[in-house]
Amino acid sequence: MSFEQIPPHRQQPALLEAVAELEAVTAAGDDEGFGPALGRVGGLFGSAGPAEVAAAGPRLAALLPDAPPFPRAHLAMVVGACVENGADPLACAGPVLAGLRGALGGAQRLVRRWEETGGGPLPDPEADDPSEAHDRIEHREHLDAWHAHLAVVGWWTLHLWQQAAWAVYAHAAVRTEARASGVTGVLLELFGRYSGGQHEFKGLAHLALVLDDEPLLVLHRPTGAGFLLRMDGLSDTFQLHTLLADVLVGGGHLPGPRPDPEVAALARTAVLDGRRVIATGAFNLVAPDGSWLWNEGTPSDVPVVDGVRTLVLDPLPYERSWSAGRFIQELPGDLRLERVLPPAEAARLLARTAPAQSAEQAFR
């Protein structure tokens, strides 16, 4: 064979070598070797090229279910970093969100057993000894040693799972899939049940609830006009309110004052520079059954009627104002008008809605 015919030697990228080692350690059930092997992966991450990181992400995510409980959360953080640097978010999301669910369940078990064993301040993951927490909550009849261990792990690592989940939920494809599969619904229920005061889920819940490429039917009761719009990346109803005014009033379709261009830009892509910019309300947002939809919620609160989210705009019952911007600054949002409904169609749809509640009813 001539020199030209000899295949060139291809050295495996260093990061993927470390990933392969971690895969072997995990397959062998070598819990003692897992931490050092994961440390080598983390140490090589910063010098790895985009293609290596993209290839590593799904392989590392696949190891999460079999990783030892404590370092599993640190592995999830590496997976999240891979996603933030180009790895396929859909290929990585499932094990990350399953791990968050497990950590939530464990942390809640710790909180419950803490109350059952005398209450008092919950352990501080930064300062306290997890073995002492384990000894306190373990009980042969109420929480055996293994489940007590998982409860302690959940409490001590929940913040890491939140960060990893944020990395995957930042992608529209993950949000859509997790919502359709019911994963998001389960996580939101767990967020609502959680009673440990040292973790806050509002931001992650808002991110998980963001609607992408979502139709929105809007009916304006005072004029009888109707519109079909499309929401994309909206994380809060303050943002939706501003963009409704910008598109419909600013576009000349409805009467009223148009939002300041800076306020509208902050609702889409612009970033606050430290100043406080004030937005003002233009409508009262009402569900088709007459109940009010509060700006403090998310666009996912708008109910689905006959397959499309449907919103009624009524006159403001009182003046409203708020700080302009987006609840999730990293996430750009948009609202686009697709068509103006013919008057007869809008009238037919409006006739199926209930009158808005009074302020007294809404505030009960």
Backbone φ and ψ of 363, nearest 5°? -90, 0
Would you call 115 helix, strand, or coil by DSSP? helix
Give the pLDDT of residue 11: 53
Question: Token match 């009402």: residue?
Answer: 286
Per-residue pLDDT of the chain (364 residues; tens, 9 = 90+): 333 343 444 455 699 999 999 999 999 999 999 999 999 999 999 999 999 999 999 999 999 999 999 999 999 999 999 999 999 999 999 999 999 999 999 999 999 999 999 999 999 999 999 999 999 999 988 899 999 999 999 999 999 999 999 999 999 999 999 999 999 999 999 999 988 777 789 999 999 999 999 999 999 999 999 999 999 999 999 999 999 999 999 999 999 989 999 999 999 999 988 889 999 999 999 999 999 999 999 999 999 999 999 999 999 999 999 999 999 999 999 999 999 999 999 999 999 999 998 887 888 7
Strand 214-220 relative to strand 308-314: parallel, antiparallel, unpaired? parallel
Give the pLDDT of residue 5: 40
Query: What are the distances in angstroms from CA 302 to CA 140, 241, 291, 338?
Result: 47, 12, 10, 18
Separation CA 193–CA 173 (nearest Å) = 27
- 122 closest CA partner among 96, 169, 76, 154: 154
Separation CA 270–CA 84 (nearest Å) = 21
Question: In the chain, where are the structural domains located?
Answer: 14-209, 214-362
Question: Token match 């090589």: residue?
Answer: 44
Separation CA 350–CA 286 (nearest Å) = 12
Separation CA 292–CA 296 (nearest Å) = 11
